[in-house]
Amino acid sequence: MGSSFYSTTVQLELVAQVTNWLAQSDQASVLVTLETMEEPMPIVSPTSAQEATILNSQEVSFSVVTQYADTSSCGVASTPQQVVVTWEYRVGDGTWGDLPTTLTDLDRRPGGLRFAAFSFETGSVHEFRVTARYTTSSLTATAPQYVFRLVVSPPAPPVVRILGPSSVSDACSFSFDASGSYDPALAPGTTSNLAFAWSCATHSSSFDCSQLSSLAGAGAQLAVEGGALQEGLYNFAVEVSRSGGGASVEVWQLEVSNGALPAVAINVPWGNNEAVSTQVGGQLASPSATVQGGPGCTVPSTWAWSFLLLEDNGQDGVLAFLNTSSSRQGDSLTIGTSEWRGDLLIPGAKYLYAVLQTPTEEEMLALVSSPPGTLSEALARGARAVKSLPFVADGPPTGGLVQCSPQSGYAVATSFSGTTSGWYDEDVARRRARSALDRVLGTE
């Protein structure tokens, strides 16, 4: 190679082949990079992926681990020296420079970078270059380097959240509220510029709801007067869009019937079929419900209310009556519960809440003292109910194994490696293993 030796990458491919007694064989290979520096340099190994693609709402980290190069077998004295790790940054294919002040590195280790969510603009590309050398190394000598590339995806579409009743009496007014929708590309607390467009399609009724006068010009809230809809099923949809492009649509089905409850809107801290922790789900906002009364649609003070925990298994099995509170404001009633029964949840199974109503407190107490097995049984005993969006019980990962090799050694001089495997989680997309061992080995 001549004069280009020190600037040429030299790699060896090591191939291992294993053959059994049936002459069946398999092989695996690994590439080893030889250091061809002009002078001894520390060994640098990436401990994170060198390429990452994220949404701007996600945090990201890159890291390397450095080791002293043992040069004693090369006739050069091997004395531990301080390693200096330097990070450089550029946008796209621009010029390398120091990390800008607009980026805050949350990693306290010299060999790591960690940036919080919303540190980067959507649709952008960034590169980080790490260099390691000894304090005694000459600045002109070639030092080991690695480049990490970060691609920030285009913004995800708005997330739609609708709060409204699933059933209502044909004589009662009701409303839908989509003001809880948000733009996931914006940091929490940032004002979003979202537009709302409502529509209605008849599911099973002779009445055409697409011509409701309140649909036109409605913003985040849509209000419909009592008597405006005939009995039947209706699909209300809202399209939420951002000014820079991107939109999402959510459909909400409403049953209108004679003799149903006034509009009951249940507000739960999860979206449709979202995962909720069995351990800390109770630390989320407490579920609540608003009973919307009004002219010709009263909410008698003699009515009794209770939150229920149900299995979402097609039969709506009743698991528990939850401690319930209520307060009245004018014609409306607010019902809430802060009780969380994570002990009754099986990871991977689906559940939901329901608001149960009886004409009197005595009838509710009778149901509590002799609990119905299913929601249908409660309705057959004279109660009425409205159900919330379902959620999936999310338990902690279990069954994992952590191994460290070697199991003992010397500070600074011994290199340790760790592996972890065998973890199980009911949500395949969430299967991952992270442990305190990462911090010990400097790989997190």
pLDDT at position 436 is 43
CA distance 398 to 423: 6
Q: How confident is the model at residue 13 (pLDDT cuts 50, 70, 90)?
A: confident
pLDDT at position 136 is 83
- Segment 393-411 shows an average pLDDT of 85
Least confident piece of the model among 114-123, 171-180, 237-246, 279-288? 279-288
Higher pLDDT among residues 304 and 144, named by residue:
304
Residue 307, pLDDT > 70, answer: yes
Higher pLDDT among residues 436 and 178, named by residue:
178
Q: How does the average pLDDT of the chain come out, rounded? A: 88
- Segment 133-155 shows an average pLDDT of 89
C-alpha triplet 317, 268, 198: angle, nearest 5°: 110
Least confident piece of the model among 5-14, 49-58, 229-238, 254-263? 5-14
pLDDT at position 105 is 96
Task: Choose among 241, 256, 323, 320: nearest CA to 287.
Answer: 323
Residue 289, pLDDT > 80, answer: yes
Least confident piece of the model among 176-190, 341-355, 395-409? 395-409
Residue 419, pLDDT > 60, answer: yes
- Segment 245-253 shows an average pLDDT of 94
N-terminal to C-terminal alpha carbon distance within the chain: 39
Give residue-wise pLDDT tens across range 428-442: 544 444 444 444 444
SS3 for 252? strand
pLDDT at position 441 is 44
Domains by residue range for the chain, with CATH: 40-152 (2.60.40.10), 162-260 (2.60.40.10), 264-395 (2.60.40.10), 401-441 (no CATH)
Q: How confident is the model at residue 168 (pLDDT cuts 50, 70, 90)?
A: very high
- DSSP 8-state secondary structure symbol assigned to residue 39: S
pLDDT at position 82 is 86
Omega cis (within 30) before 406: yes
Strands 391-394 and 274-277: parallel
pLDDT at position 88 is 97
Residue 172, pLDDT > 50, answer: yes
Strands 232-242 and 194-204: antiparallel
Q: How confident is the model at residue 87 (pLDDT cuts 50, 70, 90)?
A: very high
Residue 303, pLDDT > 50, answer: yes
CA distance 143 to 351: 57
Q: How confident is the model at residue 388 (pLDDT cuts 50, 70, 90)?
A: very high
Task: Choose among 251, 58, 254: nearest CA to 160.
Answer: 251
Give residue-wise pLDDT tens across range 104-134: 999 989 999 999 999 999 999 999 999 998 8
pLDDT at position 442 is 45
Residue 321, pLDDT > 50, answer: yes
pLDDT at position 399 is 80
pLDDT at position 215 is 94
The percent of residues in the chain predicted with pLDDT above 90, rounded, is 63
Measured in whole angstroms, how far is the alpha carbon of residue 317 from the centre of its chain? 28
pLDDT at position 391 is 95
